[in-house]
Amino acid sequence: MSWRRLWIPLSVLPLLGLLAYGFRTDPRAVPSPLVGRPAPPFTLTLFDDGALRLDDLRGKVVVLNFWASWCYPACYEEAPVLEEGWRTYQDRGAVIVGIDIQDTEEGARRFIEQFGLTFPNGPDPRGKISIDYGVYGVPETFFIDRQGRIRAKHVGAVTAPLLRERLEALLEEPA
């Protein structure tokens, strides 16, 4: 009889377990399977002429930032941070690359002008690069080490402390 009485509450336990698991995972968080893997190669046609090949940056720490001019406010918050980071770290072997996705060229150029961005920036008109990096929104930032491996992915606006911390750590690694 006592076993019978326990049966019903006990049967609820696995259900509770499932619910606990479900509530602790964020359904909107998209995990990137790319972290730890080699960064997919690409050639980016830059806004101010010329092209940039990721392979040419081997040996440097690359911050790959996906953005769009319609991405307000996150992209507008991080643009000055990225520009500042570029100015501070370019002499130490870091490159910041901006990839403008799902955007109009006009809007993108205005954005670059507004923030006076001097690091290489280019469009991804057919989404090839963004899909290759498993991007699902803007802004998203990938940190690539000197060996050309993706070491971290950041979703949302990059903050100055975060950029500094990641860059310092990756720059310290031997080439």
110 sits near other proteins (criterion: CB under 8 A): no
With contacts defined by CB under 8 A, how many residues of the chain interact with other proteins?
Answer: 18
CB 69 within 8 A of CB 104: yes
Q: In whole angstroms, give the CA distance from residue 38 to residue 82.
A: 23
Q: Which stretch binds other proteins (CB under 8 A): 58-66, 112-120, 129-137, 158-166?
A: 129-137
Decide whether 74 or 81 has the Cβ nearer to other proteins: 74
Taking the C-alpha atoms of residue 46 and residue 19, their distance in angstroms, rounded to an integer, is 48
Choose, by CB under 8 A, the member of 133, 141, 162, 170 that binds other proteins: 133
Does residue number 126 form part of the binding site for other proteins (CB under 8 A)? yes
- Binding flags for other proteins, 19-58, as an x/- string (CB under 8 A): -----------xxxxx------------------------
- Give the shortest CB-33-to-other proteins separation in angstroms: 4
- Does position 18 interact with other proteins (CB under 8 A)? The reply is yes
Which contacts qualify for 105-114: CB closer than 8 Å, 24 or more apart?
105/47, 107/68, 107/69, 107/70, 108/47, 108/68, 108/69, 109/47, 110/69, 111/67, 111/69, 111/75, 111/79, 112/47, 114/79
CB of 133 to other proteins, least distance (A): 7
Q: Does 12 bind other proteins (CB under 8 A)?
A: no
Q: At its nearest, how many Å lie between other proteins and the CB of residue 128? A: 7
Q: Does 156 bind other proteins (CB under 8 A)?
A: no
Distances (CA, A) of 96 to 13, 20, 45, 63, 174: 50, 40, 15, 5, 19
φ, ψ (nearest 5 deg) of residue 136: -125, 5
Residues interacting with other proteins, by CB under 8 A?
A: 18, 30-34, 102, 126-128, 130-137
